[in-house]
Structure 1
Amino acid sequence: MTETPHSREWYAHLARELGGYRHPWRRVLDGPDPELSFDALLMEHLSPTSRVLEAGCGHGPDAARFGSRCARWAAYDRSPELLALARQNAPHAEFAEWDGKSEVPLALRGPFDLIVSRRGPTGVIDHLPAVAAPGAHFLYVGPTLDVPQVPQRLGRIGWDILGEWRASVRAWAPTWEDWQLRCEFMGEVARSEDWDAGATSRGLPYREERSVVLAGPP
């Protein structure tokens, strides 16, 4: 892709070429997917009466998977191309276009019992006091072992971190092309000398890392 990673044009390209916000490279994991802890916590906090707000919903995979388990699933994204796919994939959910920076749109004002973000924007944390119901929880999973802006933002609004989980699993990019796609997606530089020095018959090993944070008001 020629677009700048994570630009509006880049997200539109993913929607058009991959049918959503998907990892474009092939990978093989040597252990459980490190996002499983996020899935387990999300399921634990869902009930038939739950009202959920999802930040950065992409093409709506979580809305499609979990939305029918709760009373309301509302979500937003800044990409109209991804939102169009989300509305097709999860017709039972509510979707709004928003960048998370301006005032909360009326359609997203809740209140919500659970606010979630799967590798999505952390800016939603600044709006938690405006959208959260009493006793609400915020659940986030990030793409590295440490996402410092999450505890920083939570501290600014006075919310407590109730739990933190970090997982790191060895993964393999089977081909140089897969490694290039992975680095491009992550905003990193793919260097051929790294591939030549580290690749085996399985490909190049790297780490799939995730940090999960569960937070709530004091």
Structure 2
Amino acid sequence: MGGIKMSDGKILFDPMKHAEWIPPHSREWYEQLFKETGEYRYPWKSQFEEPRAEIIFGHKIAANLNYGRLLDVGCGHGEFALQFALDAREIVGIDVVEGFIEKGNQHKSLGNINFMVTDGDGHLPFPNDYFDVAYTKKGPRDWYHEANRIVKPGGMILGLYHAGSHGGLRDRFPGLYSPMPQPEANDILSDLNLHGSGLTDIHVELFEEIEYLATPEDVLIKKCFGQNHKLKEIVWQECLQDVEVIFNKHATKQGLKVFNYYHLLTARAS
């Protein structure tokens, strides 16, 4: 069982080195998440300082929608897309997990919303110049080759991607949370492989979001999001006692302070 030394000389268990670890945002991970919760929703308890990255992202979507057609790529169970129901002529959400799509269609509020099982990595089943705005929130990275075709000229394409956490997690719990370099805009542009996409006015902003985790258990829940029950039991057994000590030493009245980083991509169809 892997781990690295903490500042007090103890060893903190590294669940990513365990055979049961499922790589986050893989197909298997999304299927496991639906099996465990039935939703793409963060299960840990926390509070945030404003502004939140998702709220900023939502405002940018709404500002460009103008009662047009909206596409959510990697919609999960559709909760995020539903907030635009009254502001859009039509909303389409796509995801590869059938369970998420079934749940989204069961809970959609208006007839102008449709969720469908579609893999964003391939050919998207939509006409040319159909959508006014298309986005992904922490979802697929390989759909931009279709964005310029399905979005009207001048239409907006947006992406919100988690760029890691720091502060209360990676500084306090090495091993459980691995060190990471400061995220750079050029890294996400290279990762998304936008070369040849035909998109214009491509821009990436880095947002810092401050979160306060409520309890020591929430540190472990955040780390094990989307993992199976067996691995969670191992992590709790190996880590909880040490995590409680560290959490109680550094937490404020609001909780344990964590810095979350997000890349926000905006571009235009040509």
Comparing 4-13 with 94-103, greater Cα deviation is found at 4-13
| Equivalent in the alignment of 1:164 | 204
- Report SS of the residue matched to 2:160: strand
Amino acid at match of 2:134: I
| Equivalent in the alignment of 2:56 | 37
Q: Could you say which structure has the larger radius of gyration?
A: 2
| Equivalent in the alignment of 2:92 | 74
Comparing 195-204 with 15-24, greater Cα deviation is found at 195-204
Q: Percent identity?
A: 23
| Equivalent in the alignment of 1:25 | 44
Whether the 8 Å CA contact 1:122–1:149 is kept in 2: the answer is no
- Relative to the length of structure 2, the TM-score reads 0.68
Q: Distance in 1 between matches of 2:53 and 2:124?
A: 31
Q: Does 1:99 align with 2:119?
A: yes
- Report SS of the residue matched to 1:100: coil
1:59 is displaced (CA, Å) by 0.7
Q: Does 1:207 align with 2:255?
A: no
| Equivalent in the alignment of 1:217 | 269
Whether the 8 Å CA contact 2:156–2:267 is kept in 1: the answer is yes
| Equivalent in the alignment of 1:125 | 144
| Equivalent in the alignment of 1:179 | 219
When residues 123 and 67 of structure 1 are mapped into structure 2, their CA distance, relative to the original with a 3 A threshold, is farther
- Report SS of the residue matched to 2:85: helix
1:210 is displaced (CA, Å) by 1.9
When residues 170 and 194 of structure 1 are mapped into structure 2, their CA distance, relative to the original with a 3 A threshold, is farther
Amino acid at match of 1:183: K
When residues 85 and 150 of structure 1 are mapped into structure 2, their CA distance, relative to the original with a 3 A threshold, is farther
Whether the 8 Å CA contact 1:3–1:9 is kept in 2: the answer is no
Query: How many residues are aligned here?
Result: 213
Whether the 8 Å CA contact 1:137–1:216 is kept in 2: the answer is yes
Q: Distance in 2 between matches of 1:97 and 1:182?
A: 27
Deviations 1:98-132 (A, max 9, x none): 22223223xx3352111111111121212113312
1:150 is displaced (CA, Å) by 4.2
Whether the 8 Å CA contact 1:161–1:213 is kept in 2: the answer is no
Q: How does 1:182-197 map to 2 (within 5 A)?
A: 182-185=222-225, 196-197=245-246
- Report SS of the residue matched to 2:93: strand
| Equivalent in the alignment of 1:65 | 83
Amino acid at match of 1:81: G
Deviations 1:124-179 (A, max 9, x none): 21211331222221011111255734465223313223543322122222222111
1:82 is displaced (CA, Å) by 0.6
Runs of 5+ in structure 1 lacking a partner?
none
Whether the 8 Å CA contact 1:119–1:140 is kept in 2: the answer is yes
Q: Distance in 1 between matches of 2:127 and 2:80?
A: 20
Q: Distance in 1 between matches of 2:267 and 2:104?
A: 26
